[in-house]
Chain A
Amino acid sequence: MTSLKLANLSKRFGGVVASENVNIEVPAGKIIGLIGPNGAGKTTIVNMITGMLPVSGGTIQVGDVDITHAPAHEICRSGLARTFQNIRLLGEASVLDNVMIGLHRHETSSTLSALLGLPASGRETAALKIRAMKLLADFDLTEFADYPAGGLSYGHQRKVEMARAVATNPDFILLDEPIAGMNNVESDALAEIFLGFARDGKGVLLIEHNVRFVAKLCSHVYVLDGGRLISEGTPEHVLSDPAVITAYLGGEDA
């Protein structure tokens, strides 16, 4: 069974410790939660995994492949996709184009044929369009295909971003605060999608603020505070852990 494994992961910005000796394992087919108060270092961890921030110490592995120091675009190719805390779509481009970019990893036509517009390149574009439309259908977005992505509502933009991440056909998905700013109906719809990822055998690392949402979906939860893991286990165990309660609500002397 493959898994995404962080071992003793550390990040220091000069003297500031953003994360220290973090050990997290995301097995395939499971939704794993990562929670923590503001500034706990959650996004730092996502950025290290996806190669946006250089790692100061420790290792990151997908299956047997060490991706600790791989450049960002190669990390994607080893089967890792992410969504961003503040949605990052290409606002000018249509919804369809946004999803088609996600399929870039699967494009195989040669550079020369793409340069000269040879038939192989045209066929590939047509095939990708069909695949992208299928993905849009899975996410109930078919009717928006031709609209500029920047003009969609917040909830729909989130879904487009999910569709784009799934288009890369990843083994592991990192979701950075996916339901921030959503109402319950919208977040329930997304929860169904996340459960679908897990059923498909993908490993999901869900980084969230909303403890209730995490408790509902995750089989295993890690709690981060001040860059260190302070607790881990089943949602029930973690939420009754005094250390977690102190981190979220403040200690007796706070």
Chain B
Amino acid sequence: MSNFFAGYLPLFDLYCIHIGLALSQFIVLRAGVFSLATAAFTGIGAYTAGILAVDFGAHPVLGVICGTLAGMLVATVLSIPLARLRGVYQAIATVAFIQICLSLNIYAEGLTGGALGLNNIPKTVGTGTLVIFAALATYLIWAIERGRIGRAFNTIRQDEAVAASLGISIRKHQMLAFAISGALAGLFGGLEAYHSYAIDPRQFGFHLLITILSYVIFGGRNSVIGPLAGAAFLIILPELARPLAENRMVIYGVMLILVINFMPKGVADTTIDAIKARRLKAKLRKAEAEARS
């Protein structure tokens, strides 16, 4: 039995890291920003933490903090030019940003190790740490969702004109969303670096972008459960489909297409909406019964 769990532990570690990244993607989408830069912020966090540990022998706590701050700082600065763009233009600009980070990473070979990546990072982060940080990140996003900032994000996402007419500063809130997204991505990038011995530039490119975005699309964009469920499902699915060998990525693709077509709000949000609708219906029926008696 313990062997069974040991076999799946790396997968669980991956899940914990990807929860953080999915939440980083989730929070910008919630604020109405179509940014895909999470992959780049993750890379910035991972390399900041990695370089500090390998070249300067920094303590892992310091490394992770610096990684988080680096992600947050870059994201905040990036939000300034992006404030003028909307929708698909923001998406394209952020994809370009990922490409810029990738290229800079390869040019700065002396610092980052170039295409070979950064190796011999001491492994200081285990499953326990990852679980704690994944839980903290989930709490943070959940708390934001319930309060004043979550309400402002919701309004901006659905209708910017309404948000402005009610006194909500769009620029300020979108910058805040970027900062949170960058901090989360930087944090989990740093954890990834200290967890996996080595990092390389390709890890933080287009493939990671698509993976993270799929979690949020698949799970849902409204409730914090969305990215958690999406990440769980899309990480386990290829394992369940292992007997299909090389065809298993086909299942992944088919599942995504089915969900996007038939549950455009994502698996978790569709379920939550259905539960809410049922409760309302029950309440209505009760009220009608009372009115009749």
B-binding residues in A (CB < 8 A): 50-52, 71-74, 76-77, 81-82, 84, 88-93, 97, 100-102, 104-105, 107, 109, 111, 113-117, 121-122, 124-125, 143, 146-147, 164, 168
Some 28 contacts from A to B, beta carbons below 8 A apart, are A51-B164, A52-B164, A52-B165, A71-B164, A76-B165, A76-B167, A84-B161, A88-B159, A90-B154, A90-B155, A90-B158, A90-B162, A92-B158, A92-B222, A93-B154, A101-B154, A104-B155, A109-B148, A114-B144, A114-B149, A115-B140, A115-B144, A115-B149, A122-B146, A125-B147, A125-B148, A146-B280, A146-B283
A76 pairs with B164, CB closer than 8 A: yes
12 additional A-B pairs beyond A73-B168, A101-B166, beta carbons within 8 Å, are A50-B165, A51-B164, A52-B165, A76-B166, A88-B162, A97-B154, A104-B168, A115-B149, A116-B140, A117-B146, A122-B147, A125-B147
Q: A76-B164, A90-B159, A105-B166 are in contact. Are A124 and B143 (CB under 8 A)?
A: no
B144 pairs with A117, CB closer than 8 A: yes
A73 pairs with B148, CB closer than 8 A: no
- Complex interface: chain A residues within 8 A of B158 (CB): 90-93
- Complex interface: chain A residues within 8 A of B147 (CB): 109, 113-115, 117, 121-122, 124-125
The answer for the CA separation of A84 and B280 in the assembled complex, in Å, is 29
- Complex interface: chain A residues within 8 A of B168 (CB): 73, 101, 104
The number of residue pairs between A and B whose CB atoms lie closer than 8 Å in the complex comes to 108
A111 pairs with B165, CB closer than 8 A: no
Q: A93-B154, A117-B146, A121-B148 are in contact. Are A111 and B166 (CB under 8 A)?
A: no
The answer for the CA separation of A91 and B165 in the assembled complex, in Å, is 17
The answer for the CA separation of A181 and B54 in the assembled complex, in Å, is 69
A102 pairs with B166, CB closer than 8 A: yes
- Which chain B residue shows the least CB distance to A50? B165
B167 pairs with A73, CB closer than 8 A: yes
A72 pairs with B165, CB closer than 8 A: yes
A164 pairs with B140, CB closer than 8 A: no
The answer for the CA separation of A72 and B166 in the assembled complex, in Å, is 9
The answer for the CA separation of A91 and B148 in the assembled complex, in Å, is 19
